[in-house]
Structure 1
Amino acid sequence: MKPKLLYTIVIFTVLFSTYAHFFTSSSGLQFFSTSLAIIFLAGLLGKATETVAHFAGERLGGFLNATFGNAAELIIAIFLVREGLFDMVKASITGSIIGNLLLVLGLSIFAGGLKFKQQKFNPLLAGHNASLMLLGVIALFIPAAFARDLSKNHMDTFSLVVAGALIVAYFLWLIFSMITHKTELSDDPLGNHEQEEEPLWGKGTAILILVVATVFVAIQSEWLVHSIQEVALALGWSELFVGAFVVAIVGNAAEHSAAVFMALKNKIGGAMEIAVGSSLQIALLVGPLLVFISLFFGQPMDILFTMEELVAIGVAVFIAISISRDGMTNWFEGILLFVVYLLIGTAFYFV
């Protein structure tokens, strides 16, 4: 999509959602318009991040895309926490993890595989990512396993310990992967170079667009939260389905576009960094941060997830590790990830 057309659509959708929020009482229209605005704002975030990646490299660019893409998810979740909708928050965390590992990564691998018979990425990085994903699963399973033996106060304290440990582990991972072992985990260890396109903007302009778009996403996210409960009730959707799929898909729009674009340019390493890196950031940073943020609203949120959510996350991590362990991808592996996502989504809809 050309920049001018994207600008026009973003402005139109933002104005449309503003009108729906202030001048209509239809929660359905408000939900639709804000979701649309967030999706196109996320597309703008993705384009800006792609430009930053041109100057900073695939790994850093992918990290920035995951960070700014997850900003929408974090902002939505903070407003949900403020409203005390903890079940929906946990469902959105679950949905974001499985959405990135199955839908975003699946679409990226499939799209890239249709254009290139086989795409390669750093297997050493894939191995470390697999270990981190397992850490996230373990950190969620342990509280659930001991929940019956812990009082509410003990569970709240345990949740803070788990959240703090995950946040420390995530920042140590950033130091490890981007400073001490940067060369070993480089963007393109296999020498796959494609002709670089000229960036849409300069580096300063791209960073400014990232910041401005994130601010507008924050505003739209607050409006989305105000309308989402009424819409879910009207349609008969459970909080689990709304959080895990509706909120997660809207919040992950930036990753969807940027990861697919990178895969189509034979930069599957960058696409993996966006999809897998975003899941890791949600599991090890965003989710734990929400536990601490909930304290400021006077309602502590524990880190106790339902069995359905734990199974979904565990299955997603298992298949993602299986797909990525050899450092190569093809279009059929993308189909496998998407099929698992469809199965989990169907199960969540009927719960």
Structure 2
Amino acid sequence: MKFLRLLLVFIPISLIGEFVHFSPTLMFILSALAIIPLAGLMGEATEEISFYSGPRIGGFLNATFGNATELIISFFALKAGLFEVVKASISGSVIGNILLVLGASMLAGGMKYKTQAFNKQALEVNSSMLLFAVIGLIIPAVFTHTVSPELLNKQYEGLSIIVAVIMFSIYLMSLFFSFYTHKDLYSVDHREESKPKWSLKTAVLVLVAATVFIGLESEFLVSAVEPMTKEAGLSEFFVGIILIPIIGNAAEHSTAVLMALKNEMDVAIEIAIGSSLQIILFVTPVLIFLSLLFKPMSIIFNEFELVALLLSVFIANRVSNDGESNWLEGFQLLAVYLIIAVSFFVL
């Protein structure tokens, strides 16, 4: 985390670049480097606030702000009409969390410990819910290929809104399930009692400041996407599905790996799987609702995204079978992610 804070120097550099009109590619890189430490500060501030608010409210705050960076970036992409980038970043976040984050955590932890155990029961609940969530994305896509274009044009927006409402209701029920009716499933014995490092006022100020600057940097990032992709010869699809998720979740990813190195695989897996659930059940519906302020965005993903999502979720369910992980499983997850990334790169 200390290394990430060094990247804060890119905030003033990107501001200068915006005023003196740096090239789009350079502005994309500078704003991306600035967002990474800001996302880390946002997560750290949320964690500090949870010490004062109690475990239940703290858990809700962590769930809400866990993907706030990506939500902010996607909001500005929505505003710019980059719907394919938004949808690619949604699927890319889920794929990245399951394959890249979980894989890196298992590999790093497995290199230090022969095997690592985790709460199998809680993971089975989350991975099953993740499968249901992905099915919710698949059904509208299948629907679009089985009806006539005339009917599709009339019902397109309504279908996306209805599905978004249902998925958001599932998210609210999952919070009630994990925080109240079945909270015992998610209890983990922590070896160390942590104490807050910041005052509540400091934590709130840092959270607000980080959110404001992430919004500013996100606007720089999104405005540079189209000219940057043409200048660098990349597709907007690749930027959305690979680059933006890594940028938005870099701090969270590093935390998962650090937890695995401390032999706290429950925390690492919760970051990977829990974050994926939040993306599909919370971030996606919210973006659908926000798109109504500009031009309505559909919830229809393309075939490549859906296949990659479904396979990633099946892998998550497979990993939860034995309640243990090792370095080879981590390496395999990373290999699958690399194959998917290369495939999307050549599209």
Q: Would the TM-score normalized by the shorter structure come out above 0.5?
A: yes
Decide whether the 8 Å contact of 1:126 with 1:325 is kept in 2. Answer: no
Q: How far did 1:140 drift?
A: 1.1
- Equivalent pair of 2:131/2:313 in contact (CA under 8 Å): yes
Q: 1:19 aligns with which of 16, 37, 41?
A: 16
CA deviation profile, 1:139-188 (whole Å, cap 9, x unmatched): 11111111030412212111111110000000100001011111232123
The runs of 5 or more residues in structure 2 that have no matched partner are none
Alpha-carbon spacing, 1:132–1:26, altered in 2? closer, same or farther (3 Å): same
Q: Paired residue for 1:157?
A: 158
1:179 counterpart = 2:175: no
Q: Could you tell me how far apart the structure 1 residues matched to 2:288 and 2:98 are?
A: 23
Structure 2 residue 193 is matched with structure 1 residue 168: no
Q: How does 1:62-101 map to 2 (within 5 A)?
A: 64-65=61-62, 67-101=64-98
TM-superposition CA deviations, 1:42-75 (whole Å, max 9, x none): 2323444554567789997676455324111111
1:118 shift after superposition: 2.2
Q: Secondary structure at the match of 1:303?
A: coil
Distance 2:184 2:78 in 1: 40
Write the distance in 2 (CA, Å) between the matches of 1:337 and 1:55: 37
Q: Would the aligned equivalents of 1:126 and 1:324 in 2 still touch at CA under 8 Å?
A: yes
Counterpart CA distance in 2 for 1:203 and 1:120 is: 34
Describe the SS at the equivalent of 2:299: coil
Instruction: Give yes or no for contact 2:127–2:273 (8 Å, CA) kept in 1.
Output: no
Q: How does 1:255-266 map to 2 (within 5 A)?
A: 255-266=252-263
In structure 2, how many angstroms separate the alpha carbons of the residues matched to 1:104 and 1:61?
A: 23
Q: 1:337 to 1:207 in 2, by over 3 A?
A: farther
What letter corresponds to residue 174 of structure 1 in structure 2? L
AA aligned to 2:97 is: N
**What is the rounded CA distance, in whole Å, between the counterparts of 1:319 and 1:115 in structure 2?**
23
Q: 2: CA distance between counterparts of 1:62 and 1:106? A: 24
Q: Distance in 1 between matches of 2:99 and 2:59?
A: 17
Report deviation, 1:346: 0.7
* Contact kept? 2:160, 2:288, Cα under 8 Å: yes
Contact 1:46 1:255 in 2 (8 A): yes
8 Å contact kept, 1:21–1:30 = yes
Match of 2:342 in 1: 346
Q: What is the match of residue 210 of structure 2?
A: 213
What is residue 106 of structure 1 aligned with on the other side? Answer: 103
Q: Which of 306-315 and 214-223 deviates more?
A: 214-223
Q: How many residues were matched structurally? A: 343
Point out where structure 1 has 5 or more consecutive residues left out of the alignment.
none
Shift of 1:110: 1.6
Distance across 2 between alignment mates of 1:329 and 1:181:
25
Describe the shift of the 1:57–1:341 C-alpha distance in structure 2 as closer, same or farther (beyond 3 A). Answer: farther
Aligned 8 A contact 1:59 1:270 in 2: no
Q: Residue deviations 1:297-342, cap 9 Å, x none?
A: 1x11111110001011011111111112322222221111111100
Matching of residues 1-12 of structure 1 within 5 Å: 1-2=1-2, 7=5, 9-10=7-8, 12=9
Secondary structure of residue in 2 paired with 1:151: helix
Structure 2 Cα separation of the partners of residues 67 and 29 of structure 1: 31
Does 1:309 find its partner at 2:305?
A: yes
Greater alpha carbon shift after TM alignment, 146-155 vs 125-134: 146-155
TM-score when scaled to structure 2? 0.91
CA contact (8 A) 2:25 2:231 kept: no
CA contact (8 A) 1:37 1:220 kept: yes
Which amino acid letter does the alignment assign opposite residue 335 of structure 2? V
Q: Which residue in 2 is equivalent to 1:141?
A: 138
Following the alignment from structure 1 to structure 2, what is the Cα–Cα distance between the partners of residues 144 and 100?
Answer: 23
1:242 matched to 2:239? The reply is: yes
Letter in 1 for 2:186: L
Q: Does 1:229 align with 2:230?
A: no
Deviation at 1:201, TM superposition (A): 3.0
Per the alignment, residue 333 of structure 2 pairs with 337
Contact 1:97 1:279 survives alignment (8 Å): yes
Distance 1:227 1:20 in 2: 12
RMSD, aligned α-carbons: 2.3
TM norm structure 1: 0.90
Counterparts in 2 of 1:97 and 1:7: CA distance versus 1, 3 Å: closer
Q: 2:120 aligned with 1:119, yes or no?
A: no
SS at structure 2 position matched to 1:184: helix
**Match of 2:301, SS?**
coil
Query: AA paired with 2:32?
Result: S
The 5 Å alignment of 1:291-310 reads 291-297=288-294, 299-310=295-306
Identical positions, percent:
49
**Residue pair 2:5, 2:37 contacting (<8 A) in 1 also:** no
Aligned partners of 1:45 and 1:65 also within 8 Å: no
Q: Deviations over 1:214-257 (max 9, x none)?
A: 22111111110011111111122112111000111111112212
Q: Deviations over 1:254-298 (max 9, x none)?
A: 22122122222222111111111111111111111111111111x
